Structure 1
Amino acid sequence: MTKVKYPEVWDLDVFFPGGSDSPQLREHLNLIAPQLTSFEEKAQQFKVPESVAAAGEIAELLEEITKIRTDIGQARSFIGCLLAQNTTDKKASVLQAEVSGIQAQLTTAMQKVQKTLTNTEDSVWQSLLEMESLHPFTFVLNEWREQAKQKLSEEEESLITALTADGYEAWGNLYNSVVGEMKIHIGDKALSVGQANNLKSNSDENIRKEAYQALEKAWTEKEDLLAKILNHLAGFRLNVYKKRGWNDVLQEPLAYNRMKQETLDAMWGAISKHKQPFVDYLKQKATLLGKEKLEWHDLQAPVSSSTQKLEYQDAAEFILKHFGQFGPELESFSRKAFEEGWIEAEDRPNKRVGGFCTGLPKSEQSRIFMTYSGTIGNMATLAHELGHAFHSHAMKSVHGLNRQYAMNVAETASTFAEMIVFDAAVKETTSDAEKIYLLEEKVKRSMMFYMNIHARFLFETRFYEERKNGIVSASRLNELMHEAQKEAYVGVLDEFDPHAWASTLHFYITYVPFYNFPYTFGYLFSLSIYAKALEEGEGFEEKYMAMLRDTAVMSAEDLAMKHLGEDITQEAFWEKGIALSVKDAEEFLTLTSK
């Protein structure tokens, strides 16, 4: 039987043939304008509801919002894919700016509706939410009302939104352009940042060190420009906070993630108390590599000689096999993604850094972006992004207005899919060397969430506090990052990565700050779900999908209580997940001590 050969370059023409020159894309964007004008007029005429008679008008506005959001989302994701696959696509950059302007228009009109709803008398509001046409949107409408109460007047918020496209969104886009055009010179090759990053896990220390030094040189050359971008992005955001009377820089990210400060504190508190097994792992790794202390360029180094190249086709088959053992829906959906060219995996120049999954809501499809170079880590990234896509697939039956899930729960399905693949790989191997290699890949991921992400959180918290008092220089940013890494890694390393503030694109994402702790939340949250899946076995997939469908219509605390029966404001919940990952670290230590 001949194996299916899955495409390694995604199919975007199915949406808008011709890329950034697509006439269909131009037509799609042109058709949004009259819809938006119509909605803006209705938003201006919308009056404070005085009785349940307003339910029909509100329901109509919600449908229009959903339709326009879907059309904008389709264009935004498509253009984002164009820029990811070719960072030199200047026409796509122009289109991206155009879509940002359209999004700002919609946001302004929506703010008018939200402010008007805020002024609804409480008893009328409750009666409205009981109406059949509005009841399904109770959570979203209450959230809108609460958010509007905490913001400035309609006119002031409209001004902020109008300035966003040429304000902090522009700074974020500039960062992507600068990094996308960077060339990292290693030997006689000029690599993209993404290609150079892939060398960090090479088994040859000389190659790893050369890649680290070349990247460090490149970031140093760009540090003043990147420091300006980061400072202006943060400055814009802090000025908005100041106008709104928000003193806590975590207010927006916590609200965005629909979680409490107590939950965040409990998570970091539990992690800080249980880092020792991972410190022991790093010490053992140093010993295995013949060093007293690890240097930063050694963090991704393999300690096992079992580092054979894993072809993309083999990785796809492995993922499908083990997704199928979890549930038929996950397997059939992922097979469709592979066969229909939803995945951009080819290793070539001019691609942007990292990996992502983006939804094209009008087509009810996703696209996955990464650079596959043949490692187990690449296979895990592929499974991770397929998990994101499956999350969107699970919500196809949900109304578009109830699909806006937050970042923390967004990382749940992705990390869950990653764990299926890693656990399967560990169980299938019969070689100690292979098992050590795979266990270390799992431990490195735990270390990423407990140490690297913790360092990012500490850095960003401290940077924003200093930025309140003025511009923070590149040299000071290096110091802040060094201090954060030293604390997060409990001083176990001999060398750090002071320019991580420049190389971490998450610090430059504009729609919300602190895109760090959601990863750790999602990792530990999915560990608990994974443990439940192992306990219940066959048939858990339906419960899992039901939980995914709820991710956009309840707080993180309520979601955990409903589907796991757990109180996530307590450290005890997080310690259960940490305990599972500690087992991997302990098994690694046992095997490598023989």
Structure 2
Amino acid sequence: MTETKYVQAWNLDSLFPDGGYPFHEHVRRVEKKVSELEGKLKVFLAPQQVNDAFKLANILEDILNIRMNVTQVNSLITCLLAQNPKDQQAITLRGKTAAIHASFESAVKKTQKILVNINQRLWGEILHTEDLKQYTFILNDWRKKAEMHLSDGEEGLVADLMVDGYHAWGQFYQSLASSITVPVHIDGEKNELSVAQAINLRSHPDEEVRKQSHKALEETWKDKEELFAKILNHIAGFRLQVNKKRGLENILQAPLIENRMKEETLNAMWTAVCKHKRPFTNYLNQKAKMNGDEKMHAYNFWAPITEDIQTIKYEDAVEFILEHFSQFGTELENFSRRAFAEGWVEAEDRPNKSTVGFCAAFPLSGESRVFLTYGGRITNVLTLAHELGHAFHNPAMKPVNGLNKRYPLSMAETASTFSEMIILDAAMEKAQSTKEKLFLLDEKLKRSVMNFMNIHSRFLFEKKFYEERKEGIVSATRLNELMQEAMDVAYEDSLDHASIRSWIWTPHYYMTKSPFYNFPYTFGYLFSLSIYAKAKEKGKEFERDYLDLLRDSGSMSTEDLVMKHLGVDITSEAFWEKGIKLCVKDAEEFMTLTTSSERKER
């Protein structure tokens, strides 16, 4: 058997060296810590004088410690169920820790409500004490959130109901989606593939294989759409009821708060995107024309523009990533080398795995784990770089104090997209022929289309779905209609055979802890363009500035963070247009290269 330099199976055993799955002692310790925190909060009163600041600091220290322990266990569960969705021990552990996590979140909300009872003058004074000044932003944020909390009794009831209701539906979706097999016919043979393996065939060089996998996936989803519609409706119904009780009538309020972003920023971003879609519809139409079609078929979107591009071995992909990370900076390179050397990456292409790539953080161990199904395509190489970017954000926060380590999704997607850009740009610079350059330019443009059109369609779908869900259950048929309508608007009618059941296989709609997990991708994509432009100007020197930005990401609003590090106002359309125009240049270059090739062929 040939030995490979980089193994494609991760090592989970090192995360809990005291004995495999942390079913017993570790979970009992966490449960005890939560119980002790609840006991302290029963007698804890809002500070009455400046000298009481240390008491609040002690509570915060307990919260931080518990959060790290809970995250450690939850991340392990995520990894275990990703590699084997039928792992019964992990399923049992998930039920146990879900209840502990619910109690912990209730305790955090109770702490936040206590802050509201501190008068404004004293509040300002205690935030300037040595014990608390490092947490000024977080504590102000908590105090603001507390104004929307329910009574302690109601919050406790909601938390309890979430365990076997709201979060359970999300977990059921994950288990169900991971257990599905897709029958795909390739070269006359029937193959039973996982959803992830079937989705990977979207970038297969043979159009018939792409078409067959698309058809098989759509038939699979059609057969199960009623069940998935129930899951989505129950998740949305619960979320709407809780939001209503908290006085959140606008469904975007909660995700904007979680992303520490103003609605003006979100509106400015989407307005700028919508103004500049024409070059990307031109790109889609041109690529369709090259395939002999009038309109881009969805199953051809991820197709390589040339059929003679070789598959990329995993070892070559790793070496390429390490080589070009090193040209950006030593911190990112050294971190990635460690990740590959110590078995932090699960990339094996096999059935019975979860459907999507992710990165899981293990704060107690100071490690991360990256998960994907590597299929030998450039898309897989970029996914690997993307998830390593997520993972790098965690050690980058090591010097940051406690609670300031938590950053919003919009910033998480910035770090991941930035790493992806390093690799894609490096590949383009190494291109040795017009054909190879065109292939990579096409891959780059796919990412622009995904962020400006696909993510926009997800946003439009989810917004409209929640509006209709307020009036009652939304049927599977209507969900398909909403998806089609959203895609028609977002793609400006430039996509044919769209996957109108993508609301089923897009896991972000079912993530109970992250509502509207769509716009952070477009934000991260455009913001990372600005960061990457500065990185190219400064070279390796920029890594220090980049680390400073990442480290501030947990203790500032999104608007203040960008103003501090880039000196620009992101509530202005002008900021977003700068990044979009860089992508427009790519689309224009694609048109130039392909039309000139057509003229030569004539």
Equivalent residue letter for 1:149:
E
- What is residue 395 of structure 1 aligned with on the other side? 397
- What is residue 138 of structure 1 aligned with on the other side? 136
SS at match of 1:366: strand
Question: 1:60 Cα shift?
Answer: 0.7
Contact map agreement 2:255 2:515 (CA 8 A) in 1: yes
Question: 1:469-508 CA distances to partner (integer Å, 9 max, x unpaired)?
Answer: 0000000000000000011000012221110111100000
Question: 1:101 Cα shift?
Answer: 0.8
Structure 2 unmatched ranges of 5 or more: 597-602
Equivalent residue letter for 1:197:
I
2-structure distance, mates of 1:574, 1:204 = 37
SS at match of 1:309: coil
Question: 1:25 Cα shift?
Answer: 4.3
2-structure distance, mates of 1:4, 1:543 = 36
Equivalent residue letter for 1:6:
Y
Question: 1:58 Cα shift?
Answer: 0.6
2-structure distance, mates of 1:72, 1:412 = 25
Question: 1:402-451 CA distances to partner (integer Å, 9 max, x unpaired)?
Answer: 11100001101100000000000001111111111111000001100000
1-structure distance, mates of 2:113, 2:94 = 28
- What is residue 433 of structure 1 aligned with on the other side? 435
Question: 1:363 Cα shift?
Answer: 0.3
- What is residue 97 of structure 1 aligned with on the other side? 95
Give the stretch that moved more between structures: 183-192 or 2-11: 2-11
- What is residue 193 of structure 2 aligned with on the other side? 191
2:540 alignment partner, one of 529, 538, 541: 538
Equivalent residue letter for 1:330:
L
Identity over aligned pairs, percent: 54
- What is residue 504 of structure 2 aligned with on the other side? 502
Equivalent residue letter for 1:87:
P
Contact map agreement 2:109 2:149 (CA 8 A) in 1: no
Change over 3 Å in CA distance of 1:203–1:459 after alignment to 2: same
Question: 1:241 Cα shift?
Answer: 1.0
1-structure distance, mates of 2:546, 2:518 = 24
Contact map agreement 2:306 2:439 (CA 8 A) in 1: yes
* Mapping of residues 227-266 of structure 1, within 5 Å: 227-266=229-268
* Mapping of residues 176-187 of structure 1, within 5 Å: 176-187=174-185
Question: 1:239-275 CA distances to partner (integer Å, 9 max, x unpaired)?
Answer: 0111112110000000000000000000000000001
1-structure distance, mates of 2:411, 2:306 = 34
Change over 3 Å in CA distance of 1:403–1:426 after alignment to 2: same
Question: 1:4 Cα shift?
Answer: 7.6
SS at match of 2:361: strand
- What is residue 11 of structure 2 aligned with on the other side? 11
Equivalent residue letter for 1:15:
L
Structure 2 length as normaliser, TM-score? 0.97
- What is residue 309 of structure 1 aligned with on the other side? 311
RMSD: 1.4
1:418 alignment partner, one of 411, 420, 425: 420
Equivalent residue letter for 1:29:
V
SS at match of 1:50: coil
Equivalent residue letter for 2:486:
A
1-structure distance, mates of 2:292, 2:157 = 59
Contact map agreement 1:17 1:24 (CA 8 A) in 2: no
- What is residue 210 of structure 1 aligned with on the other side? 212
- What is residue 576 of structure 1 aligned with on the other side? 578
Change over 3 Å in CA distance of 1:154–1:24 after alignment to 2: closer
Contact map agreement 1:306 1:437 (CA 8 A) in 2: no
Contact map agreement 1:111 1:158 (CA 8 A) in 2: no
* Mapping of residues 293-372 of structure 1, within 5 Å: 293-372=295-374
SS at match of 1:165: helix
2-structure distance, mates of 1:180, 1:453 = 23
SS at match of 2:248: coil
1:172 alignment partner, one of 166, 170, 173: 170
1:87 aligns with 2:106: no
2-structure distance, mates of 1:202, 1:90 = 35
Equivalent residue letter for 2:56:
I
Question: 1:527 Cα shift?
Answer: 0.4
Give the stretch that moved more between structures: 468-477 or 302-311: 302-311
Contact map agreement 1:257 1:408 (CA 8 A) in 2: yes
Contact map agreement 2:206 2:307 (CA 8 A) in 1: no
1:283 alignment partner, one of 282, 285, 288: 285
Contact map agreement 1:184 1:215 (CA 8 A) in 2: yes
Question: 1:273-296 CA distances to partner (integer Å, 9 max, x unpaired)?
Answer: 001111010011011101111211
2-structure distance, mates of 1:342, 1:399 = 25
Question: 1:527-558 CA distances to partner (integer Å, 9 max, x unpaired)?
Answer: 00111111222311001000000001001100
- What is residue 388 of structure 2 aligned with on the other side? 386
Contact map agreement 2:382 2:424 (CA 8 A) in 1: yes
Equivalent residue letter for 1:76:
N
Give the stretch that moved more between structures: 146-155 or 368-377: 146-155
- What is residue 599 of structure 2 aligned with on the other side? none
Equivalent residue letter for 1:13:
D
- What is residue 600 of structure 2 aligned with on the other side? none
Contact map agreement 1:358 1:367 (CA 8 A) in 2: yes
